[in-house]
């Protein structure tokens, strides 16, 4: 890692700000560059964002093709738009052409900017270009211009897991060893000894590929016959902290902030491994409180811009429940066995 891609010390001071004017547009109160980097900091954070974007871009009916270039795909267009909305709280679409004959393009959400009139700008390489288009926001208590994503309360947790990963990486690269002090008794090291210790501890001693290396040191005797001694002392032991526990706690908080059932991102607690009832209840709540309102929001948003969209309902029933229901329909003669298997994708 390097300072250009990871600067945890800047998080608390610079990520959350207030709306302020910058040139022709309002600068986002959330640092978009930080949020863009955070997308890659934590696997569960990223999976939650992608999961919601995939569910909300599962198209049943739409007429986006009439406004998209031939090479563009309606589902990918919607997925990119929703992913930007979930990640930044605001997402942008460029309208390129005349009032009656135009194409639509996704604007990378971290590059989108707005002014108080709702005009759209795209900021690249420090320059902002005004574009024709429209945007959607998830609303915010802090900003009159930009929306905010669901996960803002856990920015510190996302950052903390990244710092733990970086710490472990550097600790492993350096051989998982604490620092040592080389102490000479009854003598002083000569230049040759200093060079030998520096080369050994600076290179041959650390790193997983230098395991089991040995340093041979000798001193001889002083002029008065007293023996000269060399000893090594640890300057400090590694703090006894459970990174596994730390990452599990922050993982659960991150997933909870996204309102995603843990099992949908591959997390199952030992106490509920066999509890299908709890999983069904979580899916139902996720659908009713998170997915359905956003489905309606997206469908109404695109309708305002003369675009038809119907998103497929999120299926919260288990295969076992579906199979039991289909079995009853077959027994009652409503479905033939082959039709039931087709409905269940068997």
DSSP summary character for residue 7 = -
Instruction: Quote the mean pLDDT of the chain.
Output: 80
Average pLDDT on 100-113 reads: 95
**∠ CA 91-37-246 to the nearest 5 degrees?**
120
Give the up-direction half-sphere exposure of residue 154: CA atoms within 13 A in the CB hemisphere: 25
Is residue 81 over pLDDT 90? yes
Write out pLDDT tens, residues 322-335: 566 556 656 656 55
Is residue 150 over pLDDT 90? yes
Average pLDDT on 181-191 reads: 71
Report the alpha-carbon distance of residue 218 to residue 135 in Å, rounded.
Answer: 73
Q: In this structure, are residues 77 and 68 in contact, taking their beta carbons and an 8 Å threshold?
A: yes
Q: What percent of the chain has pLDDT over 90?
A: 48
Write out pLDDT tens, residues 232-266: 666 555 554 567 788 888 999 999 999 999 988 88
Is residue 297 over pLDDT 60? yes
Q: Where are the domains of the chain?
A: 1-153+241-312, 177-234, 316-346
Pairing of strands 309-311, 59-62: antiparallel
DSSP summary character for residue 308 = -
115: left (phi over 0), alpha (psi -120 to 50) or beta: beta
DSSP three-state, residue 120: strand
DSSP three-state, residue 134: strand
Report the alpha-carbon distance of residue 211 to residue 331 in Å, rounded.
Answer: 68
Report the alpha-carbon distance of residue 322 to residue 331 in Å, rounded.
Answer: 14
Pairing of strands 133-137, 59-62: unpaired
**Cβ neighbours for 160, distance < 8 A, ≥ 6 positions apart:** 246, 250
Which tokens belong to 41?
A: 């900091």
Is residue 33 over pLDDT 80? yes
Q: In this structure, are residues 121 and 112 in contact, taking their beta carbons and an 8 Å threshold?
A: yes
Report DSSP letters for 158-227, one per residue.
HHHHHHHHHHHHHHHHTTT---EEEEEESS---HHHHHHHHHIIIIISSSGGGTT--------B-TTSPB
Report the alpha-carbon distance of residue 248 to residue 51 in Å, rounded.
Answer: 20
Q: In this structure, are residues 212 and 205 in contact, taking their beta carbons and an 8 Å threshold?
A: no
Q: Among 166, 136, 155, 125, which Cα is nearest to 31's?
A: 155
Global model pTM greater than 0.85: no
Map tokens 């009032």 to a residue: 99
Q: In this structure, are residues 114 and 145 in contact, taking their beta carbons and an 8 Å threshold?
A: yes
DSSP three-state, residue 335: coil
């Amino acid at each position: 890692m390097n300072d250009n891609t990871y600067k945890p010390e800047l998080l608390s001071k610079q990520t959350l700000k207030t709306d302020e004017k910058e040139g022709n547009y309002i600068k986002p109160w959330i640092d978009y560059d930080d949020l863009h980097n955070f997308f890659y900091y934590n696997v569960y954070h990223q999976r939650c964002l992608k999961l919601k974007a995939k569910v909300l871009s599962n198209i049943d009916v739409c007429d986006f093709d009439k406004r998209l270039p031939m090479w563009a795909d309606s589902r990918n267009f919607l997925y990119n738009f929703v992913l930007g909305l979930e990640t930044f709280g605001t997402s942008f679409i460029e309208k390129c052409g005349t009032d009656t004959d135009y194409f639509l393009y996704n604007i990378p959400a971290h590059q989108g900017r707005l002014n108080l009139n709702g005009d759209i700008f795209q900021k690249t390489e420090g320059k902002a270009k005004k574009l024709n288009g429209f945007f959607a926001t998830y609303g915010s208590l802090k900003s009159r211009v930009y929306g905010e994503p669901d996960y803002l309360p856990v920015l510190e947790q996302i950052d903390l897991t990244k710092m733990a990963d970086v710490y472990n990486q550097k600790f492993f690269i350096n051989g998982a060893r604490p620092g040592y002090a080389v102490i000479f008794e009854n003598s002083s090291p000569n230049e040759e000894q200093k060079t030998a210790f520096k080369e050994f501890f600076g290179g041959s001693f650390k790193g997983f590929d230098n395991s089991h290396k040995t340093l041979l040191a000798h001193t001889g005797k002083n002029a008065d016959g007293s023996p000269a001694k060399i000893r090594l002392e640890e300057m400090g032991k590694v703090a006894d902290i459970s990174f596994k526990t730390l990452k599990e706690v922050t993982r659960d908080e991150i997933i909870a902030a996204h309102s995603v059932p843990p099992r949908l991102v591959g997390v199952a607690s030992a106490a509920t491994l066999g509890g299908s009832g709890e999983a069904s209840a979580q899916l139902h709540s996720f659908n009713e409180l998170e997915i359905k309102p956003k489905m309606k929001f997206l469908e109404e948003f695109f309708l305002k811009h003369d675009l038809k969209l119907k998103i497929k309902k999120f299926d919260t029933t288990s295969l076992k429940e579906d199979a039991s229901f289909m079995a009853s329909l077959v027994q009652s003669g409503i479905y033939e066995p082959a039709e039931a298997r087709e409905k269940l994708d068997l």
